[in-house]
């Protein structure tokens, strides 16, 4: 069997052989702990009928673990300098393919058609750069792509916010945006010490099981997003004050109060106490008064 990439010695050797220097701007931190990789693949529930999209494969540490379990892995890498490195490290895995692209600009719908017509299901698995975590996650979720789950290693604090429940200090607009599309579960904490170079904060593995239908039905989805974003604009303010100042116009405050009454929501409550279902009911009540 091929030697694992994710060991301190092998990682150092690969980087030295290719003369590769890390770019801080791309958030490059390479994992050097095989136990963590095993846990990620297990959490993602990868099998021989699964196709995997990986974002930011780095030097291929997670990619090889995925390739050993999945039918096919397509890794999207933005850093052109890593292409020859990956061609080297992934050469033992013919079922792993690397595409040079920016995942936020790539035609992911077409990629799914072109690369995964012969698999039973497609999953996203990645060690995401901190600076672009949310846009990448929302690209997959909002795009309603045909993927069944997303398992990612991200900044621990962000994982807490995404998986947070109503009434907690971590619960906010990001929690609702993600949980509207998926069931979120924080799987494990990953210490900074298992990366080269070590990041300044700990990471966490987050598993998102994509819903077949969104968590709530609403009249207008984009307006629903407007409503809950407005509700969290100032966490110290009540739901009514936030809506009045951020959803506006202010002269429509009486109608906003009516909408809150119809939705059975106390106007003195704060946004972080409302569930997705309550935001959906409120959104529809506001829409019929302010938009319809």
199 and 228 share one domain: no
**Coil, helix or strand for 238?**
coil
Upper half-sphere CA count for residue 223 (Cβ side, 13 Å): 18
251 and 130 share one domain: no
Is 172 among the annotated ligand-binding positions? no
- Rg, C-alpha atoms of the chain: 21
Is 107 among the annotated ligand-binding positions? no
CATH number of the domain bearing residue 242: 1.10.8.100
pLDDT string in tens for the chain (292-residue length): 678 999 999 999 999 999 988 776 666 789 999 999 999 999 999 999 999 999 999 999 999 999 999 999 999 999 999 999 999 999 999 999 999 999 999 999 999 999 999 999 999 999 998 889 999 999 999 999 999 999 999 999 999 999 999 999 999 999 999 999 999 999 999 999 999 888 889 999 999 999 999 999 999 999 999 999 999 999 889 999 999 999 978 889 999 999 999 999 999 999 999 999 999 999 999 999 998 7
Is 213 among the annotated ligand-binding positions? no
Please report whether residue 40 resides in a domain.
yes
Q: What is the residue range of 194's domain?
A: 8-210
Beta strands 203-210 and 149-155: pairing type?
Answer: antiparallel
Please report whether residue 3 resides in a domain.
no
Distance CA 147, CA 131 (A): 23
Q: How far is CA 205 from CA 108, 114, 157, 234, in A?
A: 23, 29, 11, 29
Residues facing residue 19 across a β-bridge: none
Please report whether residue 1 resides in a domain.
no
Q: Which of 166, 191, 210 is the last residue of a domain?
A: 210
Q: What is the pLDDT of residues 139-177, one digit of tens each?
A: 999 999 999 999 999 999 999 999 999 999 999 999 999
89 and 143 share one domain: yes
CATH number of the domain bearing residue 12: 3.40.50.150
Please report whether residue 185 resides in a domain.
yes
Give me the residue label for tokens 């110290």: 236
85 and 206 share one domain: yes
138 and 227 share one domain: no
Total domains in the fold of the chain: 2
pTM of the entire structure?
A: 0.93
161 and 77 share one domain: yes
Is 54 among the annotated ligand-binding positions? no
Is 234 among the annotated ligand-binding positions? no
Please report whether residue 156 resides in a domain.
yes
Is 77 among the annotated ligand-binding positions? yes
Please report whether residue 59 resides in a domain.
yes
């Amino acid at each position: 069997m091929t030697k694992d990439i994710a060991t301190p010695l092998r990682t150092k050797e690969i980087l030295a052989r290719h003369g590769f220097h890390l770019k801080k701007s791309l958030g490059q931190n390479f994992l050097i702990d095989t136990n963590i990789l095993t846990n990620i693949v297990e959490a993602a529930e990868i099998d021989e009928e699964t196709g995997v999209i990986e974002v930011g494969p780095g030097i291929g540490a997670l990619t090889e673990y995925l390739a050993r379990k999945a039918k096919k892995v397509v890794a999207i890498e933005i850093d052109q300098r890593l292409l020859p490195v990956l061609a080297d490290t992934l050469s033992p895995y013919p079922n792993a393919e690397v595409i040079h692209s920016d995942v936020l600009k790539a035609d992911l719908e077409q990629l799914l058609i072109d690369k995964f017509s012969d698999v039973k299901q497609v999953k996203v698995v990645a060690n995401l750069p901190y600076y672009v975590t949310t846009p990448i996650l929302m690209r997959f979720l909002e795009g309603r792509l045909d993927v069944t789950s997303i398992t990612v290693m991200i900044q621990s604090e962000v994982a807490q916010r995404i998986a947070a429940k109503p009434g907690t200090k971590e619960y906010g607009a990001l929690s609702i945006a993600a949980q509207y599309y998926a069931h979120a579960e924080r799987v494990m904490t990953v210490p900074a010490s298992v990366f080269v170079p070590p990041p300044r904060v700990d990471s966490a593995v987050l598993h998102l099981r994509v819903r077949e239908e969104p968590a709530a039905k609403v009249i207008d989805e984009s307006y629903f997003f407007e409503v809950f974003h407005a509700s969290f604009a100032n966490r110290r303010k009540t739901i009514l004050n936030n809506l009045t100042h951020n959803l506006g116009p202010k002269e429509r405050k009486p109608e906003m109060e009516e909408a809150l009454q119809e939705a059975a929501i106390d106007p003195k409550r704060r946004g972080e106490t409302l569930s997705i279902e309550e935001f959906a009911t409120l959104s529809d009540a506001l829409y019929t008064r302010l938009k319809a």
